[in-house]
Amino acid sequence: MKKVLHLLALAATTTLFLASCVPTRRWKASEAALASVRADSSRLAQQVAQHEATIGQLKQQIGDLNTKISDLQNQSGLTQNQLNQSKEQIAEQRRRLAQLQALMDQQKRAIQDIRKKMTDALVGFNSSDLSVAIKNGKVYVSLSENLLFPSGSATVNPKGKEALGKLATVLNTNPDITVDIEGHTDSVPIHGRYPDNWALSVARSTAIVRILTTDYQVDPIRIVASGHSQYDPVQPNSTPEGRALNRRTEIILSPKLDELYRLLESGPTPE
């Protein structure tokens, strides 16, 4: 009997032990699984953080690129505006150049026309006493002292007055011609009515002005008179021939250039 009771007690103890071992294994397995889940969650959290950091960097890069694109677009627009302005300025300069060239061509034709008219009008005079030439874009009618004046005098002789009358006819039929009259002498000092060659050269040019305006009704507003004395020679004063050529009166004719001057004074188009 004691043996049977002992066996029963042993069986009960074994049963209790076995019953207590099953929850312990399950608990440990649950703890292991929980630890694994926590580890996985931690790794996922780290990966999410890394991805978020990468996303932030990419967004910053995208923002920087958008700023650069905007800057480049602005620069491109500015460059295009500058290019358009340059094209407009070039077009304007070409237009002004074409206008200027047209006016210069017109002036050349007018100068040639004046020269021809003067040459035709003065055809009967000796070439040694009178010449018509183009110089510096103007027509120079050069009349010798021999044709116009007695030596040392500012009184125009009849032959000279005849030449001035023919010249005045051309001037009166061409009111757009301006007239500069210059008196010139040689370097030999004079004695008599005029104190020096300055006074003589001025007196001669003004005497011609009076004949043109008073006797032949040329508009005085168109005329300018001046004296150059001996200081603008065409030949050296060291020879009689040279001095004879230097004793002259030059009537300088040019078409009115008001339109040309206005174009030049207008200047380039402001940038």
Higher pLDDT, 32 or 206: 206
Would 49 be classed as within a structural domain? no
Would 179 be classed as within a structural domain? yes
- The total number of residues shown for the chain amounts to 271
For the CA atoms of 218, 223, 229, 232, the dihedral, rounded to the nearest 10 degrees, stands at -110
Higher pLDDT, 45 or 146: 146
Q: What are phi and psi of 141, to 5 degrees?
A: -100, 110
When mean pLDDT is compared across 9-23, 56-70, 161-175, 255-269, the lowest value belongs to 9-23
pLDDT tens digits, residue range 75-101? 767 677 877 877 777 887 788 778 778
Q: How many domains does the chain have?
A: 1
Q: Is it the case that residue 23 has pLDDT exceeding 90?
A: no
Whole-structure pTM over 0.75, yes or no? no
Give the pLDDT of residue 69: 73
Would 174 be classed as within a structural domain? yes
Q: How many CB atoms lie within 10 A of CB 31?
A: 10
Q: Tell me, what CATH number does 164's domain have?
A: 3.30.1330.60
Q: Is it the case that residue 41 has pLDDT exceeding 60?
A: no
Would 267 be classed as within a structural domain? no
Would 67 be classed as within a structural domain? no
Compute CA 271 distance to the chain's CA centroid, rounded to the nearest angstrom. Answer: 9
Tell me the β-bridge partners of 248.
144, 184
Would 82 be classed as within a structural domain? no
Would 250 be classed as within a structural domain? yes
- Nearest CA to 174 among 260, 102, 262, 253? 253
Would 54 be classed as within a structural domain? no
Domain, as residue range, for 112: 105-262
Give the pLDDT of residue 45: 56
pLDDT tens digits, residue range 128-169? 899 999 998 899 999 999 999 999 999 999 999 999 999 999
Q: Strands 223-227, 138-144: parallel, antiparallel or unpaired by DSSP?
A: unpaired
